[in-house]
Amino acid sequence: MKKRIIAALLCIGMITTLVVGCGNNSSSDSDDSDSSKTADDASEETPEPEEETAKGAIQSGTVTFNIDMSQYEKGKTVRVWVPVAQTNDYQTIEDVEFDANGVDAEINEDALGNQMLYVEWDADAEPESRTASLSFHVVRPEILRPELVEEGTVDADLDEYLKASSTIPVDGEVKELADEITKDETTYLGKARAIYDWIIANMNRDESVVGCGKGDVCVLLETKGGKCTDINSVFVGLCRSTGIPAREMFGVRINDADITGNQHCWAEFYLPGTGWVAADPADVLKAVLKNEWDKESDEAKEMQEYYWGNCDEKRVELSRGRDITLSPEQSAEALNNFGYPYAEVDGEAVDYYSPDTFVYSISFAEDN
């Protein structure tokens, strides 16, 4: 308890110095009406900026993953990777614990720095033994928008945040659109804001998309609709194609006791002279849809300003990056992202959206 109090005090001191941003505590972004772990959390209300926001709130508590792979018959090799949150500029993680029911398990790190619990049950394992749990304590402060000062240019050490991925191209029609959107802007900040505002004006949240979406930017430029990974991938792709470093974080909202279906993706862009700054147009568009707001309404515009540089306290980051190769390496293709637990049975990937093939839960116990 003493360690947690100290961590909380340290996080309070961090609030005025950190440079980042994300969304407020809007509801879950993982959707599948047939699955309790991917259904949008209907009980969660879309937040509005309140007086508490200006004070810098703090959320803290224990996140627990429970995995159950007992439904597969004996004779199959079952492998599971569970994302493990890490302490960074925006959150403090302590008391990481795991239990694999007597089977050897380990925490590994991939080439991008993401950590994960790895558990493997060989073909001789009894089906009922294939359970595991992982827990950690998180202290997460709300991050308030800093003064946005632009000085100098982007350093070469940020080149990785300008590159394309399998779902985020930075040339062709993506660059053409970015150039059109930013044609009247000459600064990094002006271009990033123009892209942010364009996305909110021209895209919409699509409730029919499974999970958080795939973030396939070329498809999204046609459909103009999706979930958080979709919408924020467009922001990242447009920023990168115009020379602004940008990245996504994948995590889960810590806003309820059962957070199994509360995965969320948020974004940042890099402003030389300031650092990493938040932009979460996906949460703006979710608030617009859930509250049936007109995009030009005062409420929507207020939300649009909040998500430009602020990040609420009710989320924990689990991983970063796209096209993920796990550690040890998975048998199937690279992961689009690592925001969900991942499993393979006899080398075949298991659908983490399906409760019939992959049983797991994520819970959050808020500190009293």
Task: Summarize pLDDT for 229-268 with one digit per residue, the tens.
Answer: 999 999 999 999 999 999 999 999 999 999 999 999 999 9
Q: In this predicted structure, what is the pLDDT of residue 30?
A: 53
Percentage, residues of the chain above pLDDT 70: 85
The string over 197-220, giving b where at least 16 C-beta atoms fall within 10 Å of a residue's C-beta and e elsewhere, is ebbbeebbbbeebebbbbbbbeeb
* Mean of per-residue pLDDT scores for the chain: 88
Q: Which backbone phi and psi does 359 adopt, to 5 degrees?
A: -95, 115
d(CA 189, CA 272): 9
* pLDDT-wise least confident of 41-45, 124-128, 173-177, 292-296: 41-45
- pLDDT tens column, 180-203: 999 999 999 999 999 999 999 999
* pLDDT above 50: residue 51: no
Residue at 93: amino acid letter: I
pLDDT number for residue 27: 39
Q: Answer whether residue 211 shows pLDDT above 60.
A: yes
Taking residues 363-367, what's their average pLDDT? 98
Give the model's pLDDT for residue 28. 42
Other C-beta atoms within 10 Å of 342: how many? 21
Q: How confident is the model at residue 34 (pLDDT cuts 50, 70, 90)?
A: very low
Per-residue confidence (pLDDT) for residue 37, from 0 to 100:
46
Which pLDDT belongs to residue 56?
A: 86
Average pLDDT over residues 48-58: 61
CA distances to 244, 274, 277, 354 from 149, rounded to whole Å, are 15, 6, 11, 46
CA distance 320 to 267: 10
Q: Give the pLDDT confidence of 299-335 residue by residue, as tens digits.
A: 999 999 999 999 899 999 999 999 999 999 999 999 9
Distances (CA, A) of 359 to 28, 63, 332: 19, 17, 19
* Model confidence band, residue 55 (pLDDT cutoffs 50, 70, 90): low
SS3 content of the chain, % helix, strand, coil (to 5): 25, 25, 45
Contact at 8 Å (CB) between 199 and 235?
yes
> Which amino acid is it at 263?
Q
Which two three-digit tokens encode residue 133?
Answer: 């749990």
- Encode pLDDT of 112-137 as tens digits: 999 999 999 999 999 999 999 999 99
Give the per-residue pLDDT at 176: 98
What order of strands is seen across the sheet that includes strand 78-84?
Answer: 105-109, 115-121, 78-84, 342-345, 348-349
